[in-house]
Amino acid sequence: MNKKYHPETLAIRQQLPTTEQGEHSVPLYLTSSYRFEDPDQMRAAFAGDVDCNTYSRYVNPNCRELELKLAALECTEDGFVTASGMSAIFSSFATFLSQGDHLVSCRSIFGSTHKILTTMLNRWGIEHTYVDVADPDSWEQAFQPNTKMVYIETPTNPGMDLVDLEWLGKLCKAKGVLLNVDNCFATPYLQQPAKFGADIVIHSATKYIDGQGRVLGGAVLGNKELIEEVRTFCRSVGPTLSAFNAWVLSKSMETLKIRMDKHCENALKLAQFLEGHELVKCVKYPSLPSHPQFDIAQRQMNGGGGIVTFYLKGGAEEGAKFLKGAEMCSLTANLGDTRTIVTHPASTTHSRLTEEERQAVCITPNLVRVSVGLEYIDDIIADIDAALKASAH
Ligand SMILES: *Cc1c(COP(=O)(O)O)cnc(C)c1O
């Protein structure tokens, strides 16, 4: 596709060639394999001598379209899409890390990623060191001679803390290690880690890329060489994205920009409302000037995103009452949906952890996370306000 187009045009216009049917919307290619003209072509295809479709664990037109769109938006050369965000993350570890390697990771990462680091990679002789986002000065000491990769999320979940990508990109370059960034919360519209030196960018497409809570998907993005290694690993192992999910996700990409603009607008309005609320202790949202890293947000993000974290006056009991008091907002494990979702980790997802374990991942008893949806903002604010009043009774 012509590079002169803006990313938001590419997200709409970068599509598979029209077939002889003349369709305007790209068809769904439900096929597990592809036909060859003759044995010579088949031999050449499997030897990698010609670039053509072989088998859908390897390649599928709908998946390829989504890869090209995501790579265009993330400013990377190439990409590989996977069945879920977790399979993208695991594949990025398994492709580049070997026995005896060491990984530096920020402590506040997605729960299943934490599980991979602590219960799986160590079984294969890959060690990790956690570093705190709030203490970047300590990161250099975490590097070892065998450190191969740095893995981060920014903004972090649920603390909404930021990692300075320009600083970390330079540090990783100087140390000669791969920088791997899970860009799920920001999406490529709000932040492009590759511009700051990230070698690998990960997405859970399940969240904002789909944006409507329908399908799972994931992606690994980077330069041609690195993605070729990921592709080689995935072709044999098989964490392939289904053609149907790729087709849904590629269509969703056409509206990502306008959805993200609205998520940001609604989230900022909610954050401003919460900031002045008598039952709220404090609010964390990247584009509020009160965010401790507001300057970093201004430098590396084009908007604050759709997630607002706030701290109630009170503790776990108030948090549980808050959840019960919400009428419209959904109580569910997803985020990045058109529908506003509220979570209180201390009384739900993280209730079995000890107080210290929760503290280590920045989950205090009074923390509430809102994934701000696309409903009319006054309705969102009214529902959250009613839940806040319920939390105090
Ligand atoms: C949801 C999520 C994942 C995992 O993605 P799945 O598509 O559920 O496998 C990874 N990282 C972050 C930040 C997420 O929010």
Mean pLDDT in residue range 354-363: 82
28 or 359: which carries more pLDDT confidence? 28
What pLDDT, on the 0 to 100 scale, is given for residue 2? 59
Q: Which helix (H) or strand (E) holds 11?
A: helix 7-13
CA of 83 to the centre of ligand 1 (A): 11
Lowest mean pLDDT among 108-122, 177-191, 194-208, 210-224: 108-122
Give per-residue pLDDT as tens, 194-232.
999 999 999 999 999 999 999 999 999 999 999 999 999
The two tokens of residue 369 are 């996370």
Residue % of the chain over a pLDDT of 90: 88
Query: How far, in Å, CA of 54 to CA of 350, rounded?
Result: 44
What pLDDT, on the 0 to 100 scale, is given for residue 350? 81
Question: Taking phi first (over 0 means left), then psi (-120 to 50 degrees means alpha), and beta for anything else, what does residue 28 get?
Answer: beta
CA of 88 to the centre of ligand 1 (A): 9
Cβ neighbours for 318, distance < 8 A, ≥ 6 positions apart: 312, 366, 391, 392
Query: How far, in Å, CA of 347 to CA of 281, rounded?
Result: 18
The best mutation among 184, 215, 241, 332 to test binding of ligand 1, ranked by most ligand atoms within 8 Å of the C-beta, falls on 184
Q: Quick one: pLDDT band at residue 40, thresholds 50, 70, 90?
A: very high
Q: Which amino acid is at 164?
A: D
CA of 387 to the centre of ligand 1 (A): 27
Q: Is the pLDDT of residue 378 over 70?
A: yes
- 83 and 217 Cβ atoms separated by less than 8 Å: yes
Residue 204 beta carbon below 6 angstroms from any ligand 1 atom: yes
What pLDDT, on the 0 to 100 scale, is given for residue 1? 63
What pLDDT, on the 0 to 100 scale, is given for residue 355? 84
Mean pLDDT of the chain: 95
127-131 and 147-153: which strand pairing? unpaired
Q: Is the pLDDT of residue 303 over 90?
A: yes
Q: Which atom of ligand 1 is nearest to the CA of 109?
A: 13
Strand order through the sheet with 341-343: 280-284, 307-312, 367-371, 341-343
pTM: 0.96
Residue % of the chain over a pLDDT of 70: 99
Residue 110 beta carbon below 6 angstroms from any ligand 1 atom: yes
Name the DSSP class of 44: H
- 330 and 341 Cβ atoms separated by less than 8 Å: yes
Q: Is the pLDDT of residue 361 over 80?
A: no
Q: Which atom of ligand 1 is nearest to the CA of 216?
A: 7
Q: Is the pLDDT of residue 326 over 90?
A: yes
In this structure, what are the phi and psi dihedrals at residue 319, rounded to the nearest 5 degrees? -65, -45
Q: Is the pLDDT of residue 252 over 70?
A: yes
Q: Is the pLDDT of residue 3 over 90?
A: no
The best mutation among 86, 154, 252 to test binding of ligand 1, ranked by most ligand atoms within 8 Å of the C-beta, falls on 86
Q: Quick one: pLDDT band at residue 352, thresholds 50, 70, 90?
A: confident
Q: Which atom of ligand 1 is nearest to the CA of 217?
A: 7
